[in-house]
A and B are shown apart, each in its own frame.
Chain A
């Protein structure tokens, strides 16, 4: 009898000594907007889960503990690799979420795979991250991309929206083939997109009047805009991720250009964009992720709660919220925190999150679908980002053109 009690006591002690929390490391450039959003989304998920009692793991309830890791990836790739190694070996993180700069995430992915830790991406769009999974599944299977859709899928969304804008131009301006000027920053990630646009636009009955490629850090695009004005373009198709997005927005407004800007403008997704362009970015439109529209039943509530807590709207990096919720769902479904057992669960999962409805393909990339993962399109009107696409989602507003004023 005593022996049984002793064994039971020892067992109880042993399980008590085990980790009481699930450690999730949030990796991002914390001094910048992307890292701030990574952390904010994660905090919201952690507080929500812990307040509800934690995560069910095989009979126990574990709380989530977040580890904040500043990768400084925008400035230094070695800093990022040092950070991820530190959270894995020193801080004993169980799961890794975040990332933003593709060059750094590629390096960080290698380390995460070395240690066989699940790494959920919430920022880098480079296809190679998913290609690695397809080409060497056994090594790279621990990687999943939660946001955004991979770069080539972004193009499909761009075309979908471009079609509807083009249609609006056809009716408003009574012209058959709207003229499009491509304004893409000179970078490797835009090469494929630019080629795709040049190839597909004629099939969409639109004319490409020229391609201009300023530097990503350009602070003056007078030359490009003058030339675009001279070409008579109706739409400026932007593929911009850096400062140049602000320059374009501001200078287009200052010149009172008749053309409307649509495309990818990552700076244009930030709340600070209006201030950064000194209030001149009227009509600039871009691909985005979060807005107070019913992309899913959760979206509006999440965006409102985020705004209430942090004072501004979330960027796509706040999809760390969805990432942690996905982990919770997978852990509860599999009954364990072991990465190898969670992978098949996530692969088959369909997750209705705040950003969209997520499913994954064999590259562990999001499966693209309008209304589910394709994101939304927003336009800056009078200091606010107004969502205008896809029309099927509730809360969309009409798209405004410069010439309609």
Chain B
């Protein structure tokens, strides 16, 4: 009984006070309850893919948004997870439930390696160097076709579960868990250090922070999450091919990340949930289905012109304002801050959120 009251108190005081958190709760519940009311396999398939790509996009944001290491080759980790899990489960016969973790582990190692190589690089140099990594990996894969399956990849993989609904739940639950975990991490002391590194690495080092360790850790963590989603992806499609490493996928996640809003974790998730089903839906129209990539690019461009910081910061600003005195966020239509009582509108409230 105590726990119920505690949960209700938490909900009332922490979640419902902010529209964005309420929306997030509604969305999470909606995702989990959807198959009970509507179990069209096609819709579940789209949503499963969306969840997997959402994990991928959120992991990119941790790396790019929080430490400023804009990774143009994030597909490397995705592909590493996919291929590792595929190879282990097909060649050695290990159950996919174990190999997906192995895929994440190998991706983590790749992340560490990539991070190490990029330690001394800054800005655009780092971005373009990371662009090269998956391409080099692709070259190596094609150099050993018996091992990697060449341009066909590895096919005939086992599913994690049978049927659209169980697979959907695996993807959705993984996504919610990982995104929540990443968000908690970004919101904690660890996240503050990351912000510091991005804004001024020299100052952070002068303050005694071992920035190298943090940068490597973020690379590894982000890679592990991406690798996990890659492994799930491979077992869902039952094929792990070179398409998991291609430049287009790396660019796609950059678009999702920036469109949704960097340094938010939930921003790219929102972006994936809007853009991926949208492009799929556009593709189902017979008349202009073949133009869907064009429409996608135009939408991205237009949204960017009006919301250059990304979609979710813009939305949040419409729904919430920050209190000028205590800096905590409030519902936009409130007149006084819920925590410190300072007036939110009028002449006194001038400070816009950062």
Chain A residues close to B by CB (< 8 Å): 30-31, 68, 70, 72, 75-79, 81-83, 85-86, 89-90, 102-103, 106-107, 110, 126, 128, 132, 186-189, 191, 216
Total CB contacts across the A-B interface at under 8 A: 72
- How many angstroms between the C-alpha atoms of A30 and B142 in the bound complex? 28
A78-B237, A103-B151, A107-B238 known, 12 other contacts, Cβ within 8 Å: A72-B283, A75-B248, A77-B237, A77-B241, A82-B42, A82-B49, A85-B42, A89-B41, A89-B42, A90-B42, A90-B284, A132-B156
* A86 and B243 in contact, given A106-B152, A188-B145 (Cβ under 8 angstroms): no
Residue of B nearest to A110 (CB): B238
Q: Does B187 contact A (CB under 8 A)?
A: no
Q: 8 A-B contacts, Cβ less than 8 Å apart?
A: A76-B243, A79-B283, A81-B237, A83-B283, A90-B40, A128-B156, A188-B152, A189-B150
Q: How far is the CA of A186 from the CA of B280 in the complex (A)?
A: 33
Establish whether residues A70 and B239, one from each chain, have CB atoms under 8 Å apart when the complex forms: no
Closest-by-CB residue of A relative to B148 is: A188
Asked if B239 and A191 sit within 8 Å, CB to CB, the answer is no
Question: In the complex the two chains form, what is the Cα distance from A78 to B52 in whole Å?
Answer: 12
B352 located at the interface, meaning its Cβ lies under 8 Å from any Cβ of chain A in the complex: no
Q: Which B residues lie at the A interface, using CB under 8 A? A: 40-42, 45-46, 49, 142, 145, 149-153, 155-156, 237-239, 241, 243, 248, 280, 283-284, 286, 289-290
Q: Indicate if the CB atoms of A70 and B290 lie closer than 8 Å.
A: yes
Q: Nearest Cβ in chain A — how far from B241, in angstroms?
A: 5
Are the CB atoms of A68 and B152 closer together than 8 Å? no
Which residues of A sit under 8 angstroms from B248, Cβ to Cβ? 75
Contact A187 B49 (CB under 8 A): no
Main secondary structure of the interface of B (DSSP, over half): helix
Complex: how many Å from CA A188 to CA B152? Answer: 7
Residues of A within 8 A of B153 (CB): 103
Chain A residues, Cβ within 8 Å of B156 = 106, 128, 132
Q: Find chain B residues with CB under 8 A from A79 CB.
A: 283
Chain B residue with Cβ nearest A80: B237
* A86-B239 in contact given A103-B152, A186-B142, A188-B151 (Cβ < 8 Å): no
- Contact (A68, B286) CB under 8 Å given A82-B46, A82-B280, A89-B42: yes
Q: How far is the CA of A68 from the CA of B289 in the complex (A)?
A: 10
Q: Which residues of A contact B239 (CB under 8 A)?
A: 77, 103, 106-107
Evaluate contact between B41 and A85: CB separation under 8 angstroms.
Answer: yes
B348 CB, min distance to chain A CBs, angstroms: 52
Contact B42 A107 (CB under 8 A): no
CB-contact partner of A30 in B45, B49, B152, B290, under 8 A: B290
With A81-B237, A86-B42: A126-B290 Cβ-Cβ less than 8 Å = no
Q: Are B290 and A78 closer than 8 Å at their CB atoms?
A: no
Across the interface, which residues of A come within 8 angstroms of B238, CB to CB?
107, 110
Residue of B152, B153, B248 ringed by the most chain A CB atoms within 10 A: B152
Q: Once the chains bind, are A103 and B241 in contact (CB under 8 Å)?
A: yes
**A128 CA / B154 CA spacing, docked (Å):** 11
CB contacts (< 8 Å) of B237 on chain A: these are: 77-78, 81, 107
The residues of B that contact A110 with a CB separation of less than 8 Å are: 238
Chain A minimum-CB-distance residue to B163: A114
Chain A residues near B280: list those with CB within 8 A: 82
Q: How far is the CA of A75 from the CA of B286 in the complex (A)?
A: 19
Q: Are A128 and B155 in contact (CB under 8 A)?
A: yes
Q: How far is the CA of A90 from the CA of B281 in the complex (A)?
A: 12
Q: CB-nearest residue of chain A relative to B238? A: A110
Q: How many Å lie between the Cα of A206 and that of B286 in the bound state? A: 52
Judge whether A103 and B243 touch: CB under 8 Å: yes
CA distance A268 to B101 in the complex (A): 46
Tell me, in angstroms, the Cα distance from A189 to B290 when the chains sit together: 29
Residue of A nearest to B53 (CB): A78
Closest 4 CB pairs of A and B: A188-B150, A106-B155, A89-B42, A188-B145
Contacts of B155 in A (CB 8 A): 103, 106-107, 128
Residue of B nearest to A188 (CB): B150
A107 / chain B contacts, CB cutoff of 8 Å: 155, 237-239
| Contact B289–A70 (Cβ < 8 Å) | yes
**In the bound complex, do residue A189 and residue B152 qualify as a contact, i.e. CB atoms below 8 Å apart?**
yes
Residues of B within 8 A of A132 (CB): 156
Q: Which residues of B contact A81 (CB under 8 A)?
A: 45, 237
Nearest CB in chain A: distance from B343 CB, A: 51
Residues of A within 8 A of B46 (CB): 82
Contact B283 A191 (CB under 8 A): no
**Which of B41, B149, B241, B283 makes the CB contact (< 8 A) with A70?**
B283
| Cα distance, A359 to B276, chains bound together (Å) | 43
- Chain A nearest CB: distance from B152 CB in Å? 5
A78 to B244, CA, bound (A): 10
- Which residues from A are CB-within-8-Å of B290? 30-31, 70
Question: In the complex the two chains form, is A89's CB within 8 Å of B150's CB?
Answer: no
Smallest beta-carbon distance A131→chain B, Å: 10
Q: How far is the CA of A90 from the CA of B248 in the complex (A)?
A: 28
- State which of A70, A72, A85, A126 has its C-beta within 8 Å of the C-beta of B45: A85
Q: In the complex, what's the smallest C-beta–C-beta distance from A133 to chain B, in angstroms? A: 13
